[in-house]
Amino acid sequence: MSRALLSHILHRPPLLASRSGVRGGAIPSRLHALRLNCTAAEATASTDDAPAPPARKKRVVSGVQPTGMVHLGNYLGAIKNWVALQDLYETFFFIVDLHAITLPYEAPQLSKATRSTAAIYLACGIDSSKASIFVQSHVRAHIELMWLLSSSTPIGWLNKMIQFKEKSRKGNENVGVALLTYPVLMASDILLYQSDLVPVGEDQIQHLELTREISERVNNLYGGRKWKKMGGRGGSLFKVPEALIPPAGARVMSLTDGLSKMSKSAPSDLSRINLLDPKDVIVNKIKRCKTDSLPGLEFDNPERPECKNLLSVYQIITGKTKEEVVSECQDMNWGTFKATLTDALIDHLQPIQDRYEEIMADPAYLDSVLVDGAGKASEIADTTLNNVYQAMGFLRR
């Protein structure tokens, strides 16, 4: 994890001045970015420099959709990092099944995929004694808060979201309203838990910036003295979350196009390594993945994106440094390197696959993990939701 421990980015002018142009790369300057290689001491929150009781751990939330198969990009870019985060932070990792219906899907497969994704979390090393693991739809507050936030979210903010523009072009008039409004649900997912930090990749930065702006808007509209006059404690209704940036190289690209991110929605299954792919499938996919005809292997040649991607995957899977990988692989030909990478992938994924099979064979255990996680999540979510209802003037029972 080679980036600096903590990078504070200077503030830019308020609200949407730059959102429509964000496509990844630099973090928008309104976001404070925290790198993943922080220590346990840096993962706690303290309000001042005076002696105080032990500060609580900062809170982190994240999730993965139960659509398609969880692949190497999901694992290296998110789930593998969560394993380290659960020792440093108070963590909530959920399966975002409500997000999975924004595009056409197979209803009979949704519950199966949700259970499978939860089992993969556990098989990859997420520990239910350290992290709360639950299904998004099992905590009803997610939907209720989304509706409340929607009343304060300008439609113009949502129209500028890049993913809506890109996906709506493909579906034309058949695109559902949920594709436009799901960023508000994402904001609800984060703000319900008074989250301090949110792990984000380059393609999610715009959504987190929107979440921050929604939280600030609702705080201004209903928080502070206005909330106190409604019988509340006053102050902010929501904590404004910051970005938690994954380590360099954790963005895994397609096996068929080194310039495109590995994706569940890509038409060809040859473009990705799924976590549950059997050995012979992994062998075939790596053997057929796109490479080039140049001699030697190198990380930093922009004309060789596939080379950089495959070397980066090998580096992360093996836990070696970039320098160690260069020393080992720079003089290899593609045939030799592909065999080396294939062996490393199989060795790394086999224990995950074995553990997954054990978990899926014990449905009572998996159910208990999800019920317990939803219970812990609901305690926090319901408090936040009730505060918002109160501040917005609803008559409560």
Q: Which residues are catalytic?
A: 167, 261, 264
- Distances 251 to 149, 202, 260 between C-alpha atoms, Å: 31, 8, 10
- For 382, residues 6+ apart whose C-beta sits below 8 A from its C-beta are 141
| Structure tokens given for 344 | 């490393």
User: Can you list the alpha helix ranges (DSSP code H) found in 247-333?
Assistant: 279-288, 305-318, 322-329
Amino acid type, 331: D
- Alpha carbons within 13 angstroms on the beta-carbon side of residue 233 total 9
DSSP for 358-380, please give it: HHHT-HHHHHHHHHHHHHHHHHH
**In the sheet that 131-135 helps form, which strands lie side by side, from edge to edge?**
6-7, 33-35, 242-245, 197-199, 59-64, 90-95, 131-135
E strands in the chain:
6-7, 33-35, 59-64, 90-95, 131-135, 197-199, 242-245
How big is the chain by its Cα radius of gyration, in Å?
22
